Amino acid sequence: MVRFSIRLLLGACLLLATQLASAQTRMPQLKFADRTLTNGLRVLTVEDHSSPTVAIQVWYHVGSKDDPNQRSGFAHLFEHIMFKSTKNMKSEMMDRLTEDVGGFNNAFTNDDVTVYYEVVPSNYLETLIWAEADRLSGLNVDDANFKSERDVVKEEYRQSVLAPPYGMLFYLLQAKSFAEHPYKRPTIGSIENLDAASLQDVQDFHSTYYRPDNATLIVVGDFDSKQLDSWVDKYFAPIAKPSRSLPRVSVKEPPRKSETRLTEYGHNDLPAVGLTYLTTKRSDPDADALRVANAILSAGESSRLYNALVYTQQIAAEIESDDNTLEDAGLFIVGAILSEGKKVEDAEKSLLTEIKKLQDAPVSAAELEKAKNQLITDQLRERETGNGKALALGEAAVLLGDPARVNTDLARLQAVTAADVQRVMKKYFTDSNRLVLYYLPEASKKGGQ
Amino acid sequence: MIRKLFFSAALCATLCILCFKTSVAQTPQATPPPPASPRSGKFPTPVDQTLPNGLRVIVVQRTESPLISAQLLIKNGGEVDSPELAGLADMTASLLTKGTQTRDATKIAQEIESLGGSLNSSARWDSSFASVNVMSSKIQPAMEILADVVRHPTFKSDEVERLRQQYLDNFTLALGDPGAVARMVAARVVFGDSPYGHPVSGTAESLARISAADIAKMHSRFYRPDNAILVIGGDINAKDGLALATKYFGDWQKPTTPLPAVSAAMESAAKGGRIVVIDKPDAGQAAVYLARTGIDRKDPDYFRGIVSNSVLSGYSGRLNQEIRIKRGLSYGAGSTLDARRDVGPFVASAQTKNESGAAVADLLLGEIGRLSSAPPADVELTPRKAVLIGNFSRNLETVNGLVGQVGSLALYGMDLNEINRYINNVEAINTADVQKFAGARLDAKTSNIIIVGNGKAFLPDLQKKYPNVEVIPVSELDLNTALLRKKKPSAD
Element containing residue A215 per DSSP (H, E): strand A215-221
User: Tell me: the pLDDT tens digits for A271-307?
Assistant: 999 999 999 999 999 999 999 999 999 999 999 999 9
CB atoms inside a 10 Å sphere around CB A329: 22
Under 8 Å between Cβ of B393 and B463: no
Q: How big is chain B, counted in residues?
A: 492
Q: What 8-state DSSP symbol labels residue A396? A: I
Strand B448-453 relative to strand B286-293: parallel, antiparallel, unpaired? antiparallel
Same-fold call for A32-235 versus A260-447? yes
> In degrees rounded to 5, what are phi and psi of residue A321?
-140, 160
Under 8 Å between Cβ of A168 and A266: yes
- Quote the CA–CA distance of A88 and B446 in Å, as a whole number: 45
* Contact residues, chain A, for B180 at CB < 8 Å: 2
For chain B, first and last CA: distance in Å? 51
* Contact residues, chain A, for B145 at CB < 8 Å: none
Residue type, B116: G
Q: How far is B198 from chain A (nearest CA, A)?
A: 14
A402 inside 8 A of chain B by CB: no
* Contact residues, chain B, for A269 at CB < 8 Å: 172-173, 175-176
Q: What is the pLDDT confidence band of residue B10, given thresholds at 50, 70 and 90? A: very low
Q: Which of A21-30, A163-172, A232-241, B58-67 has the lowest mean pLDDT?
A: A21-30
CA angle, residues A343, A349, A355, in degrees to nearest 5: 140
User: Tell me: the pLDDT tens digits for B182-207?
Assistant: 999 999 999 999 999 999 999 999 99
Select the residue of B7, B30, B284 nearest A163 (Cβ to Cβ): B284
Q: Output the pLDDT for position B489.
A: 62
pLDDT at A448 over 50: no
User: Tell me: the pLDDT tens digits for B325-361?
Assistant: 999 999 999 999 999 999 999 999 999 999 999 999 9
Picking from B60, B152, B61, the residue whose alpha carbon sits closest to that of residue B101 is B152
Element containing residue B144 per DSSP (H, E): helix B139-151
CB contact under 8 A, B35 and A126: yes
Q: Torsion angle, CA of A260/A266/A272/A273, rounded to 10 degrees?
A: -10
**What is the three-class DSSP state of A170?**
helix
B285 inside 8 A of chain A by CB: yes
Residue type, B213: A
A146 inside 8 A of chain B by CB: no
CB pairs under 8 A between A and B: 310
- Quote the CA–CA distance of B160 and B96 in Å, as a whole number: 11
What is the value of pTM for the model shown? 0.91
For chain A, first and last CA: distance in Å? 28
User: Tell me: the pLDDT tens digits for A191-226?
Assistant: 999 999 999 999 999 999 999 999 999 999 999 999
Q: Output the pLDDT for position B30.
A: 81
The ipTM value here is: 0.88
pLDDT at A115 over 80: yes
Under 8 Å between Cβ of B200 and B78: yes
A233 inside 8 A of chain B by CB: no
Q: Output the pLDDT for position A42.
A: 98
* Contact residues, chain A, for B41 at CB < 8 Å: 51-53
Q: How far is A258 from chain B (nearest CA, A)?
A: 32
Q: Output the pLDDT for position A4.
A: 30
Q: Output the pLDDT for position B109.
A: 97
Under 8 Å between Cβ of B474 and B175: yes
Q: Which domains does chain B have, with CATH numbers?
A: 47-249 (3.30.830.10), 275-476 (3.30.830.10)
Mean pLDDT of A130-147: 93
The DSSP secondary structure of B54-66, one letter per residue, reads S-EEEEEE--SSS
- CATH homologous superfamily, domain A260-447: Metalloenzyme, LuxS/M16 peptidase-like (3.30.830.10)
B174 inside 8 A of chain A by CB: yes
B8 inside 8 A of chain A by CB: no
Q: Output the pLDDT for position A13.
A: 27
Under 8 Å between Cβ of B375 and B431: yes
Q: What 8-state DSSP symbol labels residue A289? A: H
Residue type, B228: A
Element containing residue A348 per DSSP (H, E): helix A344-360
Q: Output the pLDDT for position B21.
A: 31
Q: Output the pLDDT for position B4.
A: 59
Mean pLDDT of B264-279: 77
User: Tell me: the pLDDT tens digits for A388-447?
Assistant: 999 999 999 999 999 999 999 888 988 999 999 999 999 999 999 999 999 999 988 865
Mutual angle of helices A74-81 and A199-209, in 10-degree steps: 90
Under 8 Å between Cβ of B270 and B318: no
CB contact under 8 A, B329 and A151: yes
Distance of CA A437 to the CA centre of its chain: 22
Q: Output the pLDDT for position A444.
A: 86
- What ranges do the domains of chain A cover? 32-235, 260-447
Mutation choice for A interface testing from B114, B132, B169, B170 by most A CBs within 10 A = B169
CATH 3.30.830.10 for the A32-235 domain, yes or no: yes
CB atoms inside a 10 Å sphere around CB A34: 14
pLDDT at B20 over 80: no
Contacts of B381 (CB under 8 A, 6+ apart): B307, B311, B429, B430, B431, B434
Q: Considering chain A, what is the average pLDDT of its residues?
A: 91
- Quote the CA–CA distance of B129 and B143 in Å, as a whole number: 14
A108 inside 8 A of chain B by CB: yes
- Please tell me the number of Cα atoms within 13 Å of A393 on its side-chain side: 27
- Return the percent helix, strand and coil in chain A, to nearest 5: 45, 20, 35
Q: What 8-state DSSP symbol labels residue B166? A: H
Element containing residue A107 per DSSP (H, E): strand A104-109
CB atoms inside a 10 Å sphere around CB B208: 11
pLDDT at A10 over 50: no
Q: Output the pLDDT for position A20.
A: 33
